[in-house]
Chains A and B, each alone.
Chain A
Amino acid sequence: MIDRAIPLLYLGAAVSFILALKWLSAVPTARRGVIVGAAGMALAVAGTLLKPEIESYRWIAVAFVAGTVIGVPMAMMPMTAVPQRTALSHAFGALAAALVGTAEFYLKAPAIDRFTMGALALEVLLGFLTFTASLMAFGKLQEILPPRPITWKSQNLLNFTLLGLAAASGAYLVARPEAAWLFPVFGALALAFGVMLVIPIGGADMPTVISLLNSYAGLSAAAMGFVLNNKLLIIAGALDGSSGFILSVIMCRAMNRSFTNVLFGAFGQAQASAGASGERRAARSATPEEAAGILHVASRVIVVPGYGMAVAQAQHKVRELYDVLTKAGVDVRFAIHPVAGRMPGHMNVLLAEANIPYDRLVEMEDVNSDFPQADVALVIGANDVTNPAARHDRNSPIYGMPILDVDKARTVMVIKRSMSPGFAGIENELYYLDRTLMVFGDAKSVVGNIVKEFAGGT
Chain B
Amino acid sequence: MSQDLELGLYVFVLATFLGLEIIRRVSPLLHTPLMSLTNAISAITIVGSILVAGEQKTTLSTVLGSIAVACSMINIVGGYLITYRMLRMFRKSGKNRP
Of the listed stretches A25-33, A169-177, A293-301, A435-443, name the one at the interface; the rest are far from the partner chain: A25-33
Which of A18, A67, A75 is the one whose CB lies under 8 Å from B69?
A67
Tally chain B residues at the interface, Cβ within 8 Å.
87
Of residues 40 through 98 on chain B, the ones whose CB sits less than 8 Å from some CB of chain A are 40-58, 60-62, 64-97
How near does chain B come to A422, taking the closest CB pair, in angstroms?
22
A-B contact count (CB 8 A): 377
Which of B19, B62, B89 is the one whose CB lies under 8 Å from A243?
B19
- A160 at interface, CB cutoff 8 A: no
Q: How far is the CA of A48 from the CA of B36 in the complex (A)?
A: 23
- Contact A79–B86 (Cβ < 8 Å): yes
- Contact A66–B73 (Cβ < 8 Å): yes
Q: How far is the CA of A405 from the CA of B14 in the complex (A)?
A: 40
- Contact A67–B72 (Cβ < 8 Å): yes
- Contact A246–B39 (Cβ < 8 Å): no
- A109 at interface, CB cutoff 8 A: no
- A393 at interface, CB cutoff 8 A: no
Which of B31, B39, B84 is the one whose CB lies under 8 Å from A89?
B39
How near does chain A come to B3, taking the closest CB pair, in angstroms?
10
- Contact B61–A103 (Cβ < 8 Å): yes
Q: Note all chain B residues with C-beta closer than 8 A to A82.
A: 32, 36, 82, 86
Q: Note all chain A residues with C-beta closer than 8 A to B68.
A: 95-97, 99-100, 103
How near does chain B come to A186, taking the closest CB pair, in angstroms?
16
- Contact B67–A233 (Cβ < 8 Å): no
Q: How far is the CA of A66 from the CA of B68 in the complex (A)?
A: 11
Q: Is the interface of B mostly helix, strand, loop or mixed?
A: helix
- With both beta carbons as reference points, the residue of chain B lying nearest to A235 in the complex is identified as B15
Of residues 1 through 36 on chain B, the ones whose CB sits less than 8 Å from some CB of chain A are 2, 4-5, 7-8, 11-12, 15-20, 22-36
Which of A34, A62, A86, A363 is the one whose CB lies under 8 Å from B87?
A34
- Contact A63–B2 (Cβ < 8 Å): no
- Contact A70–B74 (Cβ < 8 Å): yes
Q: Note all chain A residues with C-beta closer than 8 A to B35.
A: 86, 210-211, 214, 243-244, 247, 343-345
- Contact A235–B11 (Cβ < 8 Å): yes
- With both beta carbons as reference points, the residue of chain B lying nearest to A338 in the complex is identified as B28
- Contact B31–A90 (Cβ < 8 Å): no
Query: Among A63, A66, A97, which residue has the most Cβ atoms of chain B within 10 A?
Result: A63
- With both beta carbons as reference points, the residue of chain A lying nearest to B17 in the complex is identified as A242
- Contact A239–B55 (Cβ < 8 Å): no
Chain A residues touching B, range: 35 or more
- Contact A25–B69 (Cβ < 8 Å): no
Q: Note all chain B residues with C-beta closer than 8 A to A3.
A: none
- Contact B37–A355 (Cβ < 8 Å): no
Q: How far is the CA of A60 from the CA of B79 in the complex (A)?
A: 20
With A30-B30, A30-B33, A217-B39 as contacts: A60 and B61 at CB distance below 8 Å: no
- Contact A18–B31 (Cβ < 8 Å): no
Q: How far is the CA of A95 from the CA of B51 in the complex (A)?
A: 16
Q: How far is the CA of A346 from the CA of B39 in the complex (A)?
A: 16
- Contact B41–A357 (Cβ < 8 Å): no
- Contact B74–A92 (Cβ < 8 Å): yes
A301-323: contact bitstring with B at CB < 8 Å (1 yes, 0 no)?
00000000000000000000000
Q: Note all chain A residues with C-beta closer than 8 A to B61.
A: 103-104, 106-107
- A112 at interface, CB cutoff 8 A: no
- Contact B73–A67 (Cβ < 8 Å): yes
A94-137: contact bitstring with B at CB < 8 Å (1 yes, 0 no)?
01110110111011000000010000000000000000000000
- Contact A240–B71 (Cβ < 8 Å): no
Q: How far is the CA of A95 from the CA of B65 in the complex (A)?
A: 11
Q: How far is the CA of A233 from the CA of B72 in the complex (A)?
A: 13
A442-454: contact bitstring with B at CB < 8 Å (1 yes, 0 no)?
0000000000000
- With both beta carbons as reference points, the residue of chain A lying nearest to B25 in the complex is identified as A25
Q: Note all chain A residues with C-beta closer than 8 A to B39.
A: 86, 89-90, 93, 214, 217, 240
- A221 at interface, CB cutoff 8 A: yes
How near does chain A come to B42, taking the closest CB pair, in angstroms?
4
Q: Note all chain B residues with C-beta closer than 8 A to A222.
A: 12
Q: Note all chain A residues with C-beta closer than 8 A to B86.
A: 79, 82, 349, 352
- A229 at interface, CB cutoff 8 A: yes
- Contact A49–B81 (Cβ < 8 Å): no
- A226 at interface, CB cutoff 8 A: yes
30 CB < 8 A contacts A-B: A21-B41, A22-B25, A48-B46, A48-B51, A63-B49, A68-B77, A71-B75, A71-B76, A71-B81, A75-B81, A77-B82, A92-B74, A93-B43, A95-B71, A96-B72, A97-B45, A99-B65, A99-B68, A106-B58, A218-B42, A227-B48, A231-B8, A235-B15, A236-B42, A242-B19, A344-B28, A345-B34, A349-B86, A355-B91, A357-B92
**Chain A residues engaging chain B, CB cutoff 8 angstroms:** 13, 17-18, 20-22, 24-27, 30-31, 33-35, 37-38, 40-41, 44-45, 48-49, 51, 53-57, 59-60, 62-64, 66-68, 70-72, 74-77, 79, 82, 85-86, 89-90, 92-93, 95-97, 99-100, 102-104, 106-107, 115, 210-211, 214, 217-218, 220-222, 224-247, 250, 336, 338, 343-346, 348-349, 352-353, 355, 357-361, 363
